[in-house]
Structure 1
Amino acid sequence: MTEPSSGVQALTRGVDLLEALADAGGEAGVSELAGRTGLAPGTIHRLVRTLLHAGYLRQLPSRRYALGPRLIRLGDSATRMLGRWATPTLTELVAAIGETANLAVLDGDHAVYVAQVPSPHSVRVFAEIGRRVPVHCTGVGKALLSALPAAEAETLLARTGLPAVTPSTVTDPDRMRAELAATRERGYATDDGEQEPGVRCVAVPVVGAHGAVALSVSGPEGRMDAAALRRAVPLVVAAGERLRTALAA
């Protein structure tokens, strides 16, 4: 097997370093990065100098390193492409179920909608692209939480709390833990008027090399009754699997 060139190896290590910083919450010191990547501190210092010069990292007054502002442009472009790649799957879901299909990602402590195909009905659920919503009371948010390690999900919810958005919002930590455990086991999350009264949603996490996104279908409770939800669940789960395969291609 051919050994990678020094340039390819440096690029691979640089990407590993950026991903380790992202996994650490966007900020870390050299020793923490060494532990996460397995790279020697001297190698990390050399990579950091290059990434700092290019604007992909910045150094904080504490001497720790953080993701730099130049990554914002790359992230915005990648998010737009993600929405474009997901649109055929969303369109198929709308055709099969008749309700609005959405794609969301985790951004900090919130879920953000990055793509949507609306229902053909005149009365339908609509979420603006770019809208940030709480994770504890939305189907996409709970799906994204379920894709995180349990301890990481707990830490996020400890930061945000479980404020009541509607009378149906889950505000008890033990009940939320149980709901996330059930979501992980069955593979999908639900939202029954927890973020908007009269709106029901089923969502699935889509996990792969790209990280995690959430795919959902939402509609008014008058159409999304118990029978409609039972029909929708396997269709949304299957769509999530198709999207996972598409994003891995």
Structure 2
Amino acid sequence: MTRQEPDGGDDGKQCGIQVIARAAAIMRTLGTHPQGLSLAAIAQAVGLPRSTVQRIVSALESEYLVEAARSGGFRLGPALGQLIYQTQTDIISLARPHLETLLERLQESVILATSANEKIYVVDRIVAEHELRVVFPIGSYVPMHSTAVGKALLSRMSDAQVRDLLPEPLPALTRNTHDLPSLLDELATIRQSGGLAADREEFIEGIYGFAVALDTYLGNYGIAVVAPASRIKGKDELFCKALLDCKRDIEQMIGAGKLPA
């Protein structure tokens, strides 16, 4: 007779699902605290015993999904960055046709970006054909607090998470750059407006931008339109409508609620 391995059944499956859910909760918490968190702080944030958190963090650390932070505690590890990098090829190929439509509609440069600690990372961009045009190089890092796409992504966080993430005081890049209290006030307005954000010469003198965040199963990204202030002033309604249409079209295809089978 052949000896069969014992079957854990539904109880074993449920236990595995629970561990994955707990690991995901821990990683989401660390994702909003890039400076690192202690085991006790993680346990409090996710509502689990410290001993349970320690076991899960140790397992994640062995896979380089979590690593020790310089300031103590733990933060997200390099393996997660590799996974994100691998998904960027997908987001670029999927979003690119919609970015091209957005550029054709507005005749201004467009950007696809994601967050990288307190900065945004430019994943893709299409430059408008004007003598005077705005170019953000692919792969460049730009401050979140002074750009439209950065503020759109920040608006998805709580005020406490924003305070933890950003330096204080905020670097003043132009005379229009917000300090932290006024930035938090603007983020509240952005949340009420459906996630639409603007940069009116806050990053670079003479440059305006409008942006909106995307919620996709590939992660959180933002799309922005940037242009010289002289061409974009007074066109808020036109640009915001085009951005919302682009957001709708992309999320209909790869929205967070449309995970592939």
Q: 1:60 Cα deviation (Å)?
A: 5.8
1:151 correspondence with 2:160: yes
Query: What does 1:87-98 align with in structure 2 at a 5 Å threshold?
Result: 87-98=96-107
Alignment-derived partner of residue 30 in structure 1 = 39
Query: What does 1:43-58 align with in structure 2 at a 5 Å threshold?
Result: 43-58=52-67
Cα distance in 2, alignment partners of residues 240 and 43 from structure 1: 39
Residues 169-178 or 139-148, more deviating: 169-178
Cα distance in 2, alignment partners of residues 61 and 244 from structure 1: 37
Cα distance in 2, alignment partners of residues 77 and 70 from structure 1: 11
Cα distance in 1, alignment partners of residues 150 and 242 from structure 2: 19
Relative to the length of structure 1, the TM-score reads 0.82
- Matched position secondary structure for 2:208: strand
Alignment-derived partner of residue 107 in structure 1 = 116
Q: In the alignment, which of 164, 174, 193 is matched to residue 166 of structure 1?
A: 174
For 1:87, the aligned partner's letter is R
Q: Deviations over 1:63-97 (max 9, x none)?
A: 73333333232222233433333222211211211
Cα distance in 2, alignment partners of residues 232 and 12 from structure 1: 39
Alignment-derived partner of residue 247 in structure 1 = 255
For 2:246, the aligned partner's letter is A
For 1:129, the aligned partner's letter is I
Cα distance in 2, alignment partners of residues 62 and 127 from structure 1: 32
Larger Rg: 2
CA distance 1:211–1:26, shift in 2 (3 Å)? farther
Q: In the alignment, which of 101, 105, 124 is matched to residue 133 of structure 2?
A: 124
Q: Deviations over 1:123-143 (max 9, x none)?
A: 321101121112222111222
Q: Deviations over 1:6-53 (max 9, x none)?
A: 445444433333223223436333333333334444443433333232
1:237 correspondence with 2:244: yes
1:204 correspondence with 2:212: yes
How many residue pairs align between the two structures?
245
For 1:214, the aligned partner's letter is G
CA contact (8 A) 1:205 1:214 kept: yes
> Structure 1: 5+ residue runs without aligned partners?
none
1:181 correspondence with 2:180: no
Q: 1:174 Cα deviation (Å)?
A: 4.5
Alignment-derived partner of residue 7 in structure 2 = none
Alignment-derived partner of residue 222 in structure 2 = 214
CA contact (8 A) 1:135 1:145 kept: yes
Residues 66-75 or 131-140, more deviating: 66-75
Query: What does 1:5-24 align with in structure 2 at a 5 Å threshold?
Result: 5=13, 6-24=15-33
Q: 1:56 Cα deviation (Å)?
A: 2.3
Cα distance in 1, alignment partners of residues 70 and 205 from structure 2: 46
For 2:239, the aligned partner's letter is A
Q: In the alignment, which of 66, 75, 91 is matched to residue 66 of structure 1?
A: 75
Alignment-derived partner of residue 223 in structure 1 = 231
Cα distance in 2, alignment partners of residues 180 and 216 from structure 1: 16
Query: What does 1:76-87 align with in structure 2 at a 5 Å threshold?
Result: 76-87=85-96
CA distance 1:42–1:176, shift in 2 (3 Å)? closer
CA contact (8 A) 2:134 2:227 kept: yes
CA distance 1:171–1:19, shift in 2 (3 Å)? closer
For 2:244, the aligned partner's letter is V
- Matched position secondary structure for 1:103: strand
Kindly, what percent of the aligned residue pairs are identical? 27
CA distance 1:123–1:150, shift in 2 (3 Å)? same
Cα distance in 2, alignment partners of residues 69 and 232 from structure 1: 37
